[in-house]
Amino acid sequence: MKMANPETNSHPFYQSVRQNVTRLNQCLCIGLDPDPKKLPSGYSQTVAGVEAFLNDIISITKHHCVAYKPNISFFEALGLDGLHVLERVMKRIPSHVPTVLDAKRGDIGNTSAMQARYIFDYFGASATTVHPYMGGDSVLPFIEHRDRYTFILALTSNVGARDIEKLALADGRPLYSAVVDQCLTWHSIAQNVGLVVGATQDEMAKIRKQTPDQLFLIPGVGAQGGDYHAVKTVGQNQDGLALINMSRGILYASPTKSDMESKILQIINAL
């Protein structure tokens, strides 16, 4: 694996990812998407059970992953108590492991500013995800938090990506390609913009060629069918960095609490 050049991007999030990838020699980002109905036996299917489960997941994996990606919707679905769980979970994650709070925000400027404050200032997330559909004034309030990172949805891992993201523009380019070009412009402001590129998409290599340097957040490995090793080869930037996310494949590796740790570490050690 090509090691990162620490001078390529001095942003603290980027440097934290670089240090963890170098230390672990892998690019695993663990998604925290708790579904009470899917908890291993031994945990109650309650908000308290979710918190106990996530605390154990962090204890098992905190020395084995590059970053965590909590998905805010799974906590919102549990109501205010769920958001309090998210708040406590974020504080349990060690400071050397950055957090991407997956929120997929992006609204008119003043609304985006409030969303960015909620994610970055209240929850203390290192990074978040934003959709680009409404343009620069909806994205810039996130980028203006210059000590944080913003991942823009470019080409996502879901089947519906073909409905809009792959539409051909008048010049023949797919829409996602124009998004990538725009992200390069946004990235030039504070060196804090990455791209969400789905592991299930064959176009990842084209996007990587279009932007050799930007950091990719790559969902879709595991339960959605993406292969970790394949996307690592294609998705790493020139510094050898990527955030390859696994959620269900890690969280629900075992149906029982008793052997959860051994099953999870077996998966991670195979990466």
Two structure tokens written together for 176: 């996602």
CA end-to-end span of the chain: 13
Contact yes or no for 253/223 (Cβ under 8 A)? no
The answer for residues whose C-beta is within 8 angstroms of residue 91's C-beta and 6 or more apart is 124
Task: Choose the catalytic residue: 37, 69, 91, 104.
Answer: 104
Q: CA quadruple 226, 191, 22, 55: dihedral positive or negative?
A: negative
Q: What are phi and psi of 88, to 5 degrees?
A: -70, -40
Amino acid identity for residue 55 in this structure: N
Contact yes or no for 68/79 (Cβ under 8 A)? no
- What is the H or E stretch that residue 106 is in? none
Distance, in Å, from the CA atom of 85 to the CA atom of 106, rounded to the nearest integer, reads 24
Residue 263 is among the residues annotated as catalytic for this protein: no
The set of catalytic residues is: 104
